[in-house]
A = this chain, B = another copy of it.
Amino acid sequence: MSDDPLARFDFLTGSLGYSLRLTQVRMYNLFFEMIGDLGLTPARVTALSLIATGDDMNQAKLARSLDIAGPSALKIVDALEAAGLICRLDVQGDRRRYVLALTATGRAKLEQLRVRMAEYEDRIAAGLSPAEREQLIGLLNRTALPG
């Protein structure tokens, strides 16, 4: 690249990790620009989607799905419940547990989100062809794999 001896300490140029981080920050900013008015964070949208589509979702399962600790999942559940989007339902035969379910407000919010998330996805992929978008997702899914 350069004869500059300082270039040996440039960990950023051409770094996959740095590119990924910058892209994620841009994406995060665009999320709040485009969807912030709906009052949800990316993590809460993810949780809401999991509650809507998963069956028999509870807090422990949510924590495992999101790969976060129990108390962190609790905060998300509390926030979604306080916003009136979900409710805790008692479970017959196990009084420790409850099932997370959408409220009518939650379903309406998801209808809004369905449109806005699609616009958001189109926006972040605006510079890519449909083929490139699929290619990018495929490459990402093969990056930084554990094991």
Contact = CB atoms under 8 A, between A and B. Distances in A.
A22 B42 CA distance: 12
A9 B49 contact: yes
Contacts of A19: 136-137, 140-141
Contacts of A45: 11
Copies of this chain, tallied across the complex: 2
B143 A11 contact: no
A32 interface: no
A96 interface: no
Residue among A26, A27, A133, A139 having the largest count of chain B Cβ atoms under 10 Å: A139
A29 to B, nearest CB: 7
B114 A16 contact: no
Contacts of A140: 19-20, 22-23, 136
A92 interface: no
